[in-house]
Structure 1
Amino acid sequence: MEGGSSHNFIPPSAGFDKSRVLDVKPLRSLMPVFPGASQAPPFPCMPPFGQTPNGYSPFYPFQPQGSQTSPNLNSPSPMRTPTGPMPAPIRSYRAPAPSGALPHDFPEESNGERGSSMGGAEDDDGYFDAHLGSSSSRKKTTKASSSRKKKKKSGDGDSLTNNGSGVNFVSVMSPFQVEDGNRELVNYVLVNFDALRRRICQIEDAKESKNGIIKRADLKAGNILMTKKVRTNMRRRIGVVPGVEIGDVFYFRMEMCAVGLHAPSMAGIDYMTGKGDAEKDPVALSIVSSGGYDDDTEDSDVLIYSGQGGNNNNKDKQVADQKLERGNLALERSLNHGNEVRVIRGVRDEVNSTTKVYVYDGLYKVHESWTERGKSGCNIFKYKLVRVPGQPGAFAVWQTIRKWKDGFSSRAGLVLQDLTSGTEPIPVSLVNEVDNEKALGSFTYFPKLKYSKSFTLMPPSFGCNCHNACLPGDMNCSCIQKNGGSFPYTGNGILVSRKQLLHECGPTCPCSPNCKNRVSQTGVKLRLEVFKTKDRGWGLRSWDSIRAGSFICEYAGEVIDEVKLKQKGHAGEDDEYIFDTGRNYDSFKWNYEPGLLEEETSNDINEDYNIPYRLIISAKNVGNVSRFINHSCSPNVFWQPVLYEHNNQSSLHIAFFAIRHIPPMTELTYDYGNSSSSEADNDNGPHWKNKCLCGSSKCRGYFG
């Protein structure tokens, strides 16, 4: 639901009167819930009302009737996490919805992964108020869910739980970190959320052919993380959310919920009501505008936002006048109080048209409100929000890029429309807005890796026997067996986990060229541009938003041996375009925590590379866009070794993937690493070290 709209509305039971309109007085008199000192903070986004299904832990204060205790979520855990301060109890001002709703079974934005075909309705405050489907469909769902839970799988990685036999996980994030975050904590939560979501997608993809019920991976991941306290900024606040930056992008509403940007998992208006006599009026905290109502979103600094309510299961059709209650009332009171409201704008993903991207556009103020008659003849509340001046561009950047793509305006500083001369599927432009330099150093653009004839490759391994496409869960597929028994990508081509060595299908495999296990071989799919930086030469960035786990490009160039590596003038100190798997790279964690799914830790999630031979690539004379990716000690891109057959031999390749969601026009960077100790001249470090200018708070000072 966007802006308060409902998804797939199903009438509530006869015992619950939905026709009753709440006026202001009862809304103000809702009894707040204050957790005790020994109780865990409440679940602010998506509490499971009524009976909690198997596999989901009840959490305070939304426990089944008769429960007097809350689960202990405060025991220590071995999971690594950033250090920081801890939260006061979080207050909840929302009344529980009728029992029976299971929020994890309701559709939201699927964003490329499959979702349940069943839907449910939701109150205007963002909580569900109806059970899904008919009684027969509910029974089928319960039965199917129960049968899945009963299945025990070992070794194939396809079970969501091991019935308690796996590694238990409880977050060690302190209460202060849960209540108030920072940039590091926000990134930590988001990386953990998406890692877990990708793993759940992988598991569900493997089970799809066995049953027709697919649960929403994002909602399940959010449920698990919120229960396990892998979350931050849970303290309700007006204005800036610590650690969330203007321009940040989100692919799921649960991501915004987990970092405290927008609490309701579906409602378009988030608001808060104070407890004091002078603070009884609700005030708006944030809004999401993404097409649920007739919003005017063309102006980058002004948003005409439609109120919530008055519609049925068709979210675009009003069937009744909207009421001045809940979120609508909160926006009206924010107009009177003049408080700042966070605005998140939903936009269509240019890479995947079925995907929606949420862009945090910063702080706005409500300047005006009125009612007008909509197309259906019903009265709709309208609110004019104006962006607070002096903030960096966010939604405006998206609008500018759209104009470039549509040809309505030219790219400022454009030097060359396509520096690849048609070699890549999508043109890569060359842009300089810094100085008058109009040309790159001489090199030959080549999109692949070039092995010399003298280089001895590994003999080809036995290819798969899949004749159409490799399917998740098909354990007869030898390519899946090589990848530890799990398909390495989700259904829309997102890498699930960093692997010691990723095996893709190659020319010897009879599966089709569009097999989803050939992601890194299909060329550049993003609208990239090479641009002149202010102090680090040329760099690379994307016009498109890049989703975490997305393939960006391969490191192309000439493969050279270690002897030539030391030859000055070819691959020595003056070659700035060397990639060497033998360098020392800082370790970082990107994969999911097995304990969150009660899985045993396996070697399959080991993130230490296990490469069959050292690979050294020089892109000085021959290369592709990867040669322009600069170094950073806090990168947003990582490299993954990929092995597949090429010219009847097994060849190793280096593929780059996004560590986290990357907003458009953000420079792409990876960690160059440092030379191994055997190549250091003395105790001062590597003999070809360079001064680092990444500006990161974790900057090592040098690289190379």
Structure 2
Amino acid sequence: MSLLHNKKEYIMHGLYYDKTRVQSKQPFSFPLPMHLGEFLINKEKEFELPPDIHQERELGLIKGLMSNRKPFFTRIRSNIFVERKPYKAEEDIICQCVRPFEGEMGCGEDCINRMLFYECDPNCCPCGDQCSNRRFQRKERTKELQVFQTKDRGWGLRTLVDIKKGDLVIEYRGEIISHQLCEERMCTTYVNEKNFYFLEYCNGEVIDACTKGTEARFINHSCDPNCHIEKWCRGGEAHFGVFASQDIEAKSELFYDYNFSTFNNSVESEQACHCGSENCRGTIGRKVSSRHAR
């Protein structure tokens, strides 16, 4: 028994102690782990939330923290056609404008294309690079816009600069989908959503800006708006822009009248309006009569 006892070694420096290592003589200096411990220390790993916090976020229990964050969406530079390819113009639409003098801009208010809400083609417009009827192509919009949180209407959009009446504020973009796919997404992808960002496109199609679009998706409804939507055609496809209906001062919130139809034309699906204007209709969109609802 005494022989076995003499061969036993007692390690006083921890589970992964290596007696062959040269120990530091600094006070309160302990040897680093070895083997698995050393591997774990040197391994780089991306930060992850603890499971309890991550699960609470997934379940939507951290409402106070998440309520102040802007809804996530992907900003896009042009519409995305989900079910088809973009159409091309069958023929060029040429206006009858006369090229102006050097330093002046042509295709003004009397331009036939402008009056028909068609943008001129730079390859065939008589005014060439002096054409002023190419706002969507040149992205001549108000760039100083800010998304902010309102008191009682969720998120909104306001301008940080003065906007003149008739100016293009921003283009409304998103995914171009059919009405059928829109209804499918309403019943599946967006079944638990409270806010929707749809705009009627053309020929039974819809602009879906729920996940992909521009800051135009944050513009709130008002029964007395300072903006309106215009449909313009360019290159075989339509472009929808938010235009100023009046002169708008800096730091003013932007509004337009949604004027949408409720699903199934039911009174139950109407949404209350909180715009606070004197001529408020009480609901967002068209008023559904009790006779039509029956």
TM-score when scaled to structure 1?
Answer: 0.27
Q: In the alignment, is residue 625 of structure 1 matched against residue 223 of structure 2?
A: no
| Partners of 1:693 and 1:562 in 2: CA distance | 28
Offset of residue 457 of structure 1 = 3.0
| 1:519 matched residue in structure 2 | 135
Offset of residue 702 of structure 1 = 1.8
5 Å-filtered alignment, 1:21-420, equals none
Q: In the alignment, is residue 577 of structure 1 matched against residue 190 of structure 2?
A: no
| Partners of 2:192 and 2:245 in 1: CA distance | 29
* Aligned length in residues: 211
Higher Cα radius of gyration:
2
Q: In the alignment, is residue 503 of structure 1 matched against residue 87 of structure 2?
A: no
| 2:264 matched residue in structure 1 | 680
Offset of residue 680 of structure 1 = 2.3
Q: Are the aligned partners of 2:165 and 2:245 in contact in 1 as well (CA < 8 Å)?
A: yes
- The residue type equivalent to 1:692 in the other structure is C
Q: Are the aligned partners of 1:443 and 1:621 in contact in 2 as well (CA < 8 Å)?
A: yes
Q: In the alignment, is residue 471 of structure 1 matched against residue 61 of structure 2?
A: no
Offset of residue 456 of structure 1 = 6.1
| Partners of 1:521 and 1:448 in 2: CA distance | 11
| 2:247 matched residue in structure 1 | 661
Which secondary structure state, in structure 2, belongs to the residue aligned with residue 617 of structure 1?
strand
Offset of residue 699 of structure 1 = 1.4
- The residue type equivalent to 2:144 in the other structure is R
Ranges in structure 1 where 5+ consecutive residues have no aligned partner: 1-434, 489-498, 582-611
| 1:441 matched residue in structure 2 | 71
Distance 1:540 1:554, change over 3 A: same
Ranges in structure 2 where 5+ consecutive residues have no aligned partner: 1-64, 286-294
Offset of residue 657 of structure 1 = 0.8
Q: Are the aligned partners of 1:640 and 1:654 in contact in 2 as well (CA < 8 Å)?
A: yes
| 2:176 matched residue in structure 1 | 559
| Partners of 1:473 and 1:444 in 2: CA distance | 35
Q: Are the aligned partners of 1:505 and 1:518 in contact in 2 as well (CA < 8 Å)?
A: yes
Distance 1:448 1:456, change over 3 A: closer
Q: Structure 1, residues 58-100: CA drift from partner, whole Å, max 9, x if none?
A: xxxxxxxxxxxxxxxxxxxxxxxxxxxxxxxxxxxxxxxxxxx
| Partners of 1:541 and 1:579 in 2: CA distance | 20
- The residue type equivalent to 2:196 in the other structure is E
Q: Of the two structures, which has the highest relative contact order with CA contacts closer than 8 Å and spacing of 6 or more?
A: 2
Q: Percent identity?
A: 31
| 2:3 matched residue in structure 1 | none
| 1:545 matched residue in structure 2 | 162
Distance 1:472 1:446, change over 3 A: closer
| Partners of 1:508 and 1:614 in 2: CA distance | 31
| Partners of 2:257 and 2:188 in 1: CA distance | 24
Q: Are the aligned partners of 1:565 and 1:571 in contact in 2 as well (CA < 8 Å)?
A: no
Offset of residue 690 of structure 1 = 1.9
- The residue type equivalent to 1:618 in the other structure is D
Aligned to 1:613, which of 196, 203, 226? 203
| 2:284 matched residue in structure 1 | 703
Q: Are the aligned partners of 1:580 and 1:616 in contact in 2 as well (CA < 8 Å)?
A: yes
Q: Are the aligned partners of 2:172 and 2:240 in contact in 1 as well (CA < 8 Å)?
A: yes
| Partners of 1:680 and 1:639 in 2: CA distance | 24
Larger mean CA deviation between 520-529 and 666-675 belongs to 520-529
| Partners of 2:133 and 2:159 in 1: CA distance | 24
Q: Structure 1, residues 187-238: CA drift from partner, whole Å, max 9, x if none?
A: xxxxxxxxxxxxxxxxxxxxxxxxxxxxxxxxxxxxxxxxxxxxxxxxxxxx
Q: Are the aligned partners of 1:467 and 1:512 in contact in 2 as well (CA < 8 Å)?
A: no
Distance 1:566 1:573, change over 3 A: farther
Offset of residue 570 of structure 1 = 4.4
Q: Are the aligned partners of 2:107 and 2:131 in contact in 1 as well (CA < 8 Å)?
A: no
Q: In the alignment, is residue 634 of structure 1 matched against residue 232 of structure 2?
A: no
Offset of residue 443 of structure 1 = 1.3
Distance 1:515 1:442, change over 3 A: same
- The residue type equivalent to 1:613 in the other structure is N
Which secondary structure state, in structure 1, belongs to the residue aligned with residue 131 of structure 2?
coil
Q: Structure 1, residues 109-138: CA drift from partner, whole Å, max 9, x if none?
A: xxxxxxxxxxxxxxxxxxxxxxxxxxxxxx
Offset of residue 616 of structure 1 = 1.4
Q: Are the aligned partners of 2:222 and 2:277 in contact in 1 as well (CA < 8 Å)?
A: yes
Distance 1:653 1:573, change over 3 A: farther
Which secondary structure state, in structure 2, belongs to the residue aligned with residue 626 of structure 1?
helix
Distance 1:455 1:473, change over 3 A: closer
TM-score when scaled to structure 2?
Answer: 0.62
- The residue type equivalent to 2:118 in the other structure is H
Distance 1:474 1:693, change over 3 A: closer
Q: Are the aligned partners of 1:565 and 1:572 in contact in 2 as well (CA < 8 Å)?
A: no
Which secondary structure state, in structure 2, belongs to the residue aligned with residue 703 of structure 1?
coil
| Partners of 1:663 and 1:473 in 2: CA distance | 25
| Partners of 1:670 and 1:519 in 2: CA distance | 20
